Structure 1
């Protein structure tokens, strides 16, 4: 049995959904289908989830929400009419929105329920469409599928007892269409995963039914070794390990939500990234281990929007508890950190800029000076992180030299290096303005 997940671009309109129908028909092993909400039809278009969020915010703020409601309904009307389905589905979608808006939920729970309408509606539409093609298909609500999650609105986590419940789906007849992005608490409250969580849903279902393969259909033929917006026609990656994909996802590769592979990883289920618009292309296969003769470096990922909090104090290394006290200050202010390379007398804490407002910055710096008596405290913004990713990277001689030479050849200064914390990645911090030059030079060094 296979699990196939179709992302927002794959279900954006009736034309795309017809392609999805053909893909499902061609392989009877595709018994479990997980879908996202309709995404963008072109670069200037909108995602249904974004409009639902605006609708929810407007309603909760007592503002006019009717325009957003009309936009959502019109989009689904076009899809339903394009698939020549009964318009009763549209009435059901309208009713589901009003039911949520008028429900006696907290604001957080109401927003989660509103956001989930996109995926839920897509699943109902696809189920009806497959039946119109003569296939036996049924919509399965995540509650009935066994998707039990923690009570954390907008950031739900799957509960361990879910997997045995999901396994029972193997006994169901026909094709099962399951909306992604949300589950239910033990007391029946709808909760969504973090944004992009339909990938998480697909991985959970694949792990629960112990699938032979989890196919993730998107709008690219494969994962590329570098961002194609920075390097023209980069090489495709044929095979990745789970750890490599997770590192790439974290560091800016947008194909997968960076938490998505964890359930599949634990069950060692292979994952294949495929293109809805070119389903015959083999895509990129993600496995637990790759052949020893494969190339070490598989990709170069990057992301902007970081800052570095630098703290220096003479004999810091002899002061017991200094690091704990420093991190406690961040915790008190609700700030999580990404990396923390350190020396004898200094430490740099890498933080996502969006988490550190100017107000928080001033509070944290003042507390470090007063409570830790640091000699120097400073913050450097507008940093980019570049990550070289590959299994066996730390055991391969000369890879770090190749990276530093390539960055120097691009006339880019390295602000930070962090390698020892990971066996599959080597990270460099540089100024955001230098990112494209550094990436192009690194790609040339490793892949050309």
Structure 2
């Protein structure tokens, strides 16, 4: 059995819907379908999720919302019209969208989560209705019915282990197609909570593990996952096969084709993932597999750079002799709810690398002041223009001299490297650069390993 998930661009309108249905019905093993909310039909279009967020904001602020609601409903009506679906088949879908403002929510965060989730929920309802209309036996299944239980915050939920025991007891007829909405689960108190943005990938992985799928097919709008960002490298090499941990390392710094959190359920269930293009389903795409018995074809699998980082640099003589020095810094970060990404250090120096998206200028000043007062460093510096480049590959594990192969082209291109770190797994090397050099760093390393 296969779980198949379609992204927003693959379900944006009637034509893409029809292509998705063609893919579903072409293989009898594709029995579980996970839907995203309708994405953009054109570059200047608006995603349904963004319309629902605007709908929620207007309800919260007690502003008129009829025009936004009309836009949302019209997106589903246009898809239904493409298939000549009778209007009454959309009655429940439309009514639920109208009723959202009247729902009972513990606070506005839960309200926002419920509104957002209805992009996926409505599309799953519509997909099941269209399949039935075309003569296929299909059933819409809610997270409540399936038992997808979550904890965490309303807009950043985490699946709980009980979900998998509930999915073990979920029953369905062999002949029916099961259509699940992606992106959300149900809290223990019975409220909707969404995963992080792009979380339909997570739902697909949860179902693939919980329903013991042989393969999780993730259909999107690219032919494969590439060895580098196509916006940085012209025609980069497609990756035909990679391991879970290679994907995790690359996702960290910016590979955005597949949600990195979705790998966890797949890893736990040992379910291979196939990322494919909805418009070209005949192409092999990229297969993501367990690392056991994996034989790498190349030294490096992928190179990616993330420019959303910053760093706090501290220098203090005899730092290595001061017990609890690092602990006191971490306690300050924890007090302000800031997690750190990396902390390379020397005998007199520490560099704390942070996600720039987590913090603002006011928080930077507050944290810097507290660190200065608490540990009194000889020098404290905030580096705002930091980037991290990840070079990843299972083939690096037993290769001598890879670091030199990476640094040599950077030196030739006069790219400064203020930080370098090799992970304990030996399949990744992390390089810190300034953000202005990040793309050139990727190009230089790519040319070294792929162009030759």
TMscore range, shorter length? over 0.9
Deviates most, 117-126 or 347-356: 347-356
- In structure 2, C-alpha distance between the alignment counterparts of 1:151 and 1:375, rounded to whole Å: 40
**Residue 309 of structure 1 contacts residue 377 of structure 1 at CA under 8 Å; is this kept in 2?**
yes
Q: Size of the alignment, in residue pairs? A: 448
Partner Cα distance (2:368, 2:191) in 1: 41
> Matched residues in 2 for 1:147 and 1:314: separation?
53
CA contact (8 A) 2:243 2:294 kept: no
How far is 1:421 from its partner? 4.7
- Does the 8 Å CA contact 2:393/2:428 hold for their aligned counterparts? yes
The separation in 1 between residues aligned to 2:266 and 2:190, in whole angstroms, is 25
**Residue 177 of structure 1 corresponds to which residue in structure 2?**
179
* Residues 294-352 of structure 1, C-alpha deviations (whole Å, 9 max, x = no match): 22310001111211111111111111111111111111112111111111111111112
Which range is displaced more, 197-206 or 46-55?
A: 46-55
Counterpart-to-counterpart distance in 1, 2:380 and 2:42: 46
Contact 2:296–2:394 under 8 Å retained in 1: no
Q: Is 2:342 the partner of 1:339? A: yes
Instruction: Give the structure 2 partner of residue 270 of structure 1.
Output: 272
- The residue aligned with 1:216 is 218
Residues 170 and 209, structure 1, Cα contact 8 Å, conserved in 2: no
Q: Is 1:73–1:90's contact at 8 Å kept on the other side of the alignment?
A: no
Q: How far did 1:7 drift?
A: 0.7
Q: How does 1:317-396 map to 2 (within 5 A)?
A: 317-396=320-399
Aligned partners of 2:400 and 2:64: how far apart in 1?
A: 62
Comparing 129-138 and 26-35, the one that deviates more: 129-138
Q: Distance in 1 between matches of 2:411 and 2:152?
A: 49
Write out per-residue CA displacement over residues 22-55 of structure 1, whole angstroms, 9 at most, x where no aligned residue. 1011101101111110111222222110111111
2:298 equivalent in structure 1: 295
Taking the aligned partners of 1:57 and 1:421, their CA distance within structure 2 comes to: 45
Contact 1:124–1:139 (8 Å) recurs in 2: yes
The DSSP-based 3-state class of the residue aligned with 1:338 is strand
* Partner residue in 2 for 1:112: 113
Moved over 6 A (4+): none
Distance 2:221 2:215 in 1: 19
Conservation of the 8 A alpha-carbon contact between 1:168 and 1:209: no
State the shift of 1:158 in Å.
0.7
Identify the residue that residue 189 of structure 1 maps to in structure 2: 191
Please name the residue that 2:48 is paired with: 48
Shift of 1:104: 2.1
2:93/2:125 contact within 8 Å kept:
no
Query: In structure 1, what is the equivalent of residue 160 of structure 2?
Result: 159
Q: CA deviation at 1:356?
A: 2.0
Stretch moving more, 411-420 or 48-57: 411-420
After TM superposition, give the deviation of residue 221 of structure 1 in Å. 1.0
Taking the aligned partners of 1:128 and 1:74, their CA distance within structure 2 comes to: 17
Once residues 170 and 419 of structure 1 are traced to their aligned partners in structure 2, the CA distance between those partners, rounded to angstroms, is 46
| 2:138 alignment counterpart | 137
Distance 1:199 1:235 in 2: 24
Structure 2: how far apart are the matches of 1:429 and 1:335?
Answer: 20
Gapped regions of structure 1 (runs ≥ 5): none
User: What secondary structure sits across from 1:224 in the alignment?
Assistant: coil
Tell me how far 1:395 sits from its aligned partner: 3.5
Q: How much is the aligned-residue C-alpha RMSD, in angstroms? A: 1.4
TM-score normalised per structure 1? 0.97
By how many angstroms is 1:186 displaced? 2.3
**CA-to-aligned-CA distance 1:146-165 (integer Å, 9 cap, x gap):** 10111521111111011121
If the length of structure 2 is used for normalisation, what is the TM-score?
0.96
Matches within 5 A, 1:408-447: 408-447=411-450
Measured against aligned partners, the alpha-carbon deviations of 1:230-260 in whole angstroms (never above 9, x if no partner) come to: 1111111010100001111111111111101
Cα distance between partner residues in 1 of 2:236 and 2:171? 40
2:319 aligned partner: 316
* Structure 2: distance between partners of 1:300 and 1:329: 33
- 1:242-253 matched pairs, under 5 angstroms: 242-253=244-255
Counterparts in 2 of 1:172 and 1:109: CA distance versus 1, 3 Å:
farther
Question: Does the CA-based 8 Å contact 1:14-1:83 persist in structure 2?
Answer: yes
Check conservation: 2:306, 2:388, Cα contact below 8 A.
yes
Q: Is the 8 A contact 1:273 1:285 kept in 2?
A: yes
Q: Is the 8 A contact 2:182 2:199 kept in 1?
A: yes
